[in-house]
A = this chain, B = another copy of it.
Amino acid sequence: MTDLDNIENTTDLVKAIVETYDGDSGINFIDVTNLPVREKIMSILDGLAELLFPGYRGKRIVTQANVHSIVSDILDTLRGELAHQVSLALRHECRMKDCPTCDCETMASDITERLLGKIPQIRRILKTDVQAAFDGDPAARSLEEVVISYPYITAIAIHRIAHELYLMEVPLIPRIMSEYAHSMTGIDIHPGAKIGKRFFIDHATGVVVGETAIIGNNVKFYQGVSLVAISIPKDAQTIQGVKRHPTIEDDVTIYAEATILGNVTIGKGAVIGANAWVRRSVPPGVTVMMAVPETRYKHNNANASHKG
């Protein structure tokens, strides 16, 4: 390296780097002109958050007098930006799949209108999530505190948006949204997961909810709960779309770090204890506790020890 002068070095290095770009897709995006832009998706989520929780950031003061025009302005901005990102995602997939006949622009517009049309409904369900968080957390002081400060609320709001786009089969964008929430909150909910009303995750960090999981109404999780699939070698033809994650019925509570594995059903009103490891369905109204392992006590500066 010291034999080369700087310019030759740079030229060689550029060449060596560019050579590694050849002949692979996925890890480089050369001549890929239609790719959603992560930063734009994030700013679209910001705009949607303003519609879902008007005024909560204190950025602008929303009053009865100006609320219609503020909502209208945000909608106008979002409509254009979201339709553009969706059309990029659709065109990118078309190009991959050699499907030049579909009209990506029109499809993107339709999808955008359908998502925006869902906002009142998403808001109604988010209200129940906020109330569940307030009711379920003795440390919560007010609904405002929940909305402004809880990472969980960010995660569930993003999930409820991403899930709608997932249902409309938009490529790339739902997962960009959910992994953005994952990065911010430590909560990893796949956009495919179907989640009912009044959902709450206390402390939140480390929760995993898989793609085909179904969660009923009035369910409460604690940190580190995982709804995961039994690991099997990937075979896209057979696995994708197959129900491989748990179904959690209404009124279930799952304590910290419990893992529910595979396509099992946790029945209505069941309670799953902390650290439980559940691979079979649980009937409604049943509590499942792991036997606490034997505990050993030992005085640190003595030979004596006893089990208890």
Contact = CB atoms under 8 A, between A and B. Distances in A.
Contacts of A72: 10, 14
How many copies the complex holds: the figure is: 3
Contacts of A2: 110
A286 B297 contact: yes
A269 B57 contact: no
Interface in A38-82: 38-40, 51, 53-59, 61-64, 67-68, 71-72, 75-76
Interface of A: 1-2, 9-10, 13-21, 24-33, 35-40, 51, 53-59, 61-64, 67-68, 71-72, 75-76, 88, 92, 96, 110, 113-114, 116-117, 119-120, 123-124, 126-127, 130, 134-139, 141-151, 171-172, 175-176, 178-180, 182-186, 188, 190, 192, 203-206, 208, 210-211, 222-224, 226, 228-229, 231-232, 234, 236, 239-240, 244, 253, 255-257, 259, 269-271, 274-278, 282, 285-301, 307
Given A27-B143, A39-B59, A139-B190, 10 more contacts: A16-B119, A29-B55, A32-B61, A33-B61, A38-B58, A38-B148, A96-B142, A151-B179, A277-B292, A287-B299
